[in-house]
Amino acid sequence: MKLHHIGVVVPNIQDSLGELKRYISFQSSSLPTPVGSRKVNVCFLKIGEPFLELIEPSSSDSSIAEFASAGGGIHHLCFEVQDIQGKLDEMADKGATILVEPTRGFDERRIAFVDLNMKNTKCGLIELLDTKKTS
């Protein structure tokens, strides 16, 4: 597993980009891109590795809409994996809860979301990202 990005929920990507650019120089940034399966738009900011991902809801029934309307914040850590289903099975065997089964995500790659159910560490939401693009 390799840390790919840190996901940050924001109410509006463009507004957040404007604020962040005052303080941080990015090597590059992607255009906001819709991820229909999750009802969000995402924008990746390269500051080295890992990336910073800004996530805004694209509809009022998005799973992050309430979090975004409350101001948002750090949402998840994303790890790139060779075998997304194998890693999900391994995590589930150790007590994790699969929240979103593999589905099409950004860049034509499969993603899944897992809650690690940790009691002492408050960063239990993990996104898994398949290293390969779907065909």
CATH of the domain at 18: 3.10.180.10
The predicted model scores a pTM of 0.91
Q: Which spans in 22-76 are helix H? A: 65-69
Residue 128: which domain range?
A: 2-133
DSSP reduced 3-state for 58? coil
Q: How many domains does the chain have?
A: 1
Phi-psi region of 35 (alpha: psi -120 to 50; beta: other; left: phi over 0): beta
| Tens digits of residue pLDDT in 47-100 | 988 999 999 999 999 999 999 999 999 999 999 999 999 999 999 999 999 999
Contact 114, 128 (CB under 8 A): yes
Question: pLDDT band for position 135 (50/70/90)?
Answer: low
Which of 99, 1, 89, 6 is CA-nearest to residue 46?
6
38 secondary structure, DSSP code: G
Cα–Cα distance measured from residue 51 to residue 126, given in angstroms and rounded to the nearest whole number: 15
Q: What percentage of the chain exceeds 90 in pLDDT?
A: 84
The first and second tokens of residue 41, run together, are 């738009």
